[in-house]
Chain A
């Protein structure tokens, strides 16, 4: 699958064409290591040195895509990437089997679980500000979550979606996407379990206020 999708150019504030694809390969993983990592390292150093609060220091640094290569061949996982002019702007890994809702109204119902999601560091405003630059593209995270919800619909899960949000990302999932948070999950380092009900997913897709 390779479909057109629009993202926002932060310089012009206008929509530009990009591609959403699911043929993610090990080369994409390596690209994140080679191209993204130096940005994150440089910005993280500056943020820590400037005494920035833990909230805006990126916490996904330890993720090592190369270890996930084997997952590419597992049917229970789906991968999506967004590229603009062949340059990777965001990556996501979904688990489509074996996960169920935890909200009282959704308990036990199958859902798509976001196991990993990351946007290129040059699209993250706080990081780019630390480097004295402007972010390049906006709405990449939104587009990935949109793809995850649509995958849930394709699977017959009615848009149900869940993830364990990193502390710094909670605002995005709760306030921007409109997901519901459960209590911190002791089985997952006390990260917050965030979940979309079908109605919330529909609202997210159709533009209802988050």
Chain B
């Protein structure tokens, strides 16, 4: 294939390209159109974020390893952990629920994608979030909190 050998053209194009992203393709999941939650959904995202963090750390997985395991975009996970206002994609919840063996509907509720009227569910989420506040190495208490909460989510 005969390419353009004009160095002036090349340098000009290089300058124009400087600082640009040029990627095409591969963003299907990250752009997944997610049904936005209704305004009156009770936010228990903090519990959701803490739950993901502990579940990930319990498995000794870094964020990128976790992203690979659950087959979810790393940026999506970074946004979830960094921004409690961020609403994850339905597919993300589906993937995480499958990986963690948690009922999908429960995880959707926790992530703010489903309406939650059950006071007990909300209280359990708040209690879990409060108990698991530390972000240091997973302690026995955190481990226990996580296990109890997984049990709660699975049994109900």
Contact = CB atoms under 8 A, between A and B. Distances in A.
Interface in B114-132: none
Interface residues of B, number: 42
B23 A44 contact: no
Interface stretch (B6-14, B100-108, B135-143): B6-14
Given A62-B30, A117-B23, A166-B24, A8 B3 contact: no
Contacts of B33: 189-190
B137 to A, nearest CB: 20
Q: Interface residues of A: mostly helix, strand, loop or mixed?
A: mixed
A172 B27 contact: no
Contact of A176 (B17, B32, B72): B17
Interface residues of A, number: 65
Given A5-B3, A62-B30, A165 B82 contact: no
Contact of B17 (A3, A15, A59, A139): A139
A204 B31 CA distance: 30
Contacts of A139: 10, 13-14, 17
Contacts of A8: 10-11, 14
Nearest to B64: A41
Contacts of B32: 189
Interface string A110-131: 0000111111000011100000
Given A60-B25, A165-B24, A190-B31, A48 B78 contact: yes
B21 A58 contact: yes
A162 to B, nearest CB: 10
B40 interface: no
B141 to A, nearest CB: 27
Given A41-B64, A45-B63, A150-B3, A93 B25 contact: yes
A191 interface: yes
22 contacts: A4-B3, A6-B3, A60-B25, A60-B26, A61-B75, A115-B24, A117-B24, A119-B22, A125-B20, A138-B14, A138-B17, A141-B17, A143-B3, A147-B1, A163-B24, A164-B25, A168-B23, A169-B20, A172-B17, A173-B22, A189-B27, A190-B31
Given A3-B3, A56-B21, A150-B2, 7 more contacts: A1-B1, A7-B14, A60-B26, A60-B27, A63-B26, A144-B22, A176-B16
Interface of B: 1-33, 63-64, 72-75, 78-79, 82
Interface of A: 1, 3-8, 13, 15, 20, 41, 44-45, 48-49, 56-64, 93, 114-119, 124-126, 138-147, 150-151, 154, 163-166, 168-169, 171-173, 175-176, 189-191, 205-207, 210
